[in-house]
Amino acid sequence: GENVEQHPSTLSVQEGDSAVIKCTYSDSASNYFPWYKQELGKRPQLIIDIRSNVGEKKDQRIAVTLNKTAKHFSLHITETQPEDSAVYFCTYAGGTSYGKLTFGQGTILTVHP
Amino acid sequence: NAGVMQNPRHLVRRRGQEARLRCSPMKGHSHVYWYRQLPEEGLKFMVYLQKENIIDESGMPKERFSAEFPKEGPSILRIQQVVRGDSAAYFCASSPLTSGTDTQYFGPGTRLTVL
């Protein structure tokens, strides 16, 4: 069935450092890979997404890479700021998961000033 | 342009009562998804609906749970005879779904507490 493994479960960095979160998925037919940020008590918010026809996408301090052969995708945040502190979820859709999103377990990112 | 709306934001029920959660998608979106989030866990897919149709309910418990998205009005997730294990945050998301993998925008959630 659909499954995505996300690591690490917690990540603590100093302000200005980079943060990397990695995910591995099971459905090789998946073709859409969004990342969501969720602050405590709030809704998940899309921060960046990538489709299977590209290997990398960048938006200011945030970048996502996709390796379809290895079924890996990663989120990179550079120059982290305290307001980046939140829970980050990798997700995927498409293939046998048509329409629905399958979520990773989440990474609690803490950025210390 | 209003985003996805959900109400109520908080709902308290006693065991055995019914819970009714509502979701109004973004304007122009005709596809709705419901997800459940237990404390300190990720979101789990429950059901995917289009207007008047259930497309995928593979994540929904077979008993006590039902969902609908009528031609007019919001989508409704209904939980009958609630139990303590139903306590969770229930999020709905909507998309225009022109490609099968359109961006999903989430509502603020309904936090259900079962006493």
Decide if A63 touches B, using CB distance below 8 A: no
- List pLDDT tens digits, range A55-103: 899 999 999 999 999 999 999 999 999 999 999 999 998 776 677 899 9
Average pLDDT of the residues in B72-96: 95
Q: How far is CA A93 from the centre of its chain?
A: 13
CB-CB under 8 Å, B91 with A43: yes
Cross-chain Cβ contact B103/A46 below 8 Å = yes
Q: Which of A46, A89, A100 to mutate to test the interface with B (most CBs of B within 10 A)?
A: A100
Q: Quick one: pLDDT at residue A27?
A: 85
Predicted local confidence at residue A94, as pLDDT: 76
Q: What is the mean pLDDT of residues A11-39?
A: 94
Nearest to A105 among B31, B42, B56 (CB): B42
pLDDT digits (tens, 9 = 90+) for B22-56: 999 999 888 999 999 998 888 999 999 998 899 99
Give the minimum alpha-carbon distance from A40 to chain B in angstroms, rounded to a whole number.
10
Nearest CA in chain B to A3: B44
Closest A-chain CA to B108 = A43
Element (H, E) at B10: strand B10-13
Q: What is the secondary structure of B44-91 as a DSSP string?
A: EEEEEEETTEEEE-TTS-SSSEEEE--SSS-EEEEE-S--GGG-EEEE
